[in-house]
Amino acid sequence: MKTPIAQGRRIGFDYGEKRIGVATSDSESILVSPHATINNDADLSLKIGDILNDVQPVYIVIGNPKHLSGADSSKSDEAASFAALVRSLYEGPIYLVDERLSTQVSYAQMREAGKSARDSKSVIDQIAAVNILETALLNEKSNTSIGSRF
């Protein structure tokens, strides 16, 4: 019999040079919802701090955009730098989750919902964050590694 997962909310981040998508789970980890898209600017630490204070997560996942081969990419280094920033604001577990093709999958999901790429631009980062967090939750619920511990 599987051990139930810990009660509490989780946060997923889809890091980007200009924008960062944020998704959160409910406290039972049944539902993952888009939370926000935040600009990656000089106020980033304050914005992340506000989200952390609001959500009080049991852990955080950050998408790791690896190459299709599975090797880390230059974007992986940027995601790790972002994880270091989050680490300066949060003492709990942080995981880097493989997010190969998450943005492309998110665009495909929006097209299936009848939205154009232009219409999707404002929420695509949030949808990618939802996909990243859902992957982590599926891993957690199946007792496999959530991601690489940061």
CA distance 92 to 110: 33
Q: What's the pTM value of the predicted model, to 2 decimals?
A: 0.86
Q: Tens place of pLDDT for every residue, the chain, 150 residues?
A: 456 788 999 999 999 999 999 999 999 999 999 999 999 999 999 999 999 999 999 999 999 987 666 667 778 899 999 999 999 999 999 999 988 655 565 556 666 766 665 655 668 788 889 999 999 999 999 998 999 999
**34 with 130: CB under 8 angstroms?**
yes
Kindly report, residue by residue over 74-106, the tens digit of the pLDDT.
788 999 999 999 999 999 999 999 886 555 655
CA distance 105 to 89: 30
Copy the structure tokens of residue 44.
Answer: 């980033």
Give which of 94, 127, 102, 99 is closest to 10, Cα–Cα. 94
pLDDT at 16: 92
| Gyration radius of the chain's alpha carbons | 15
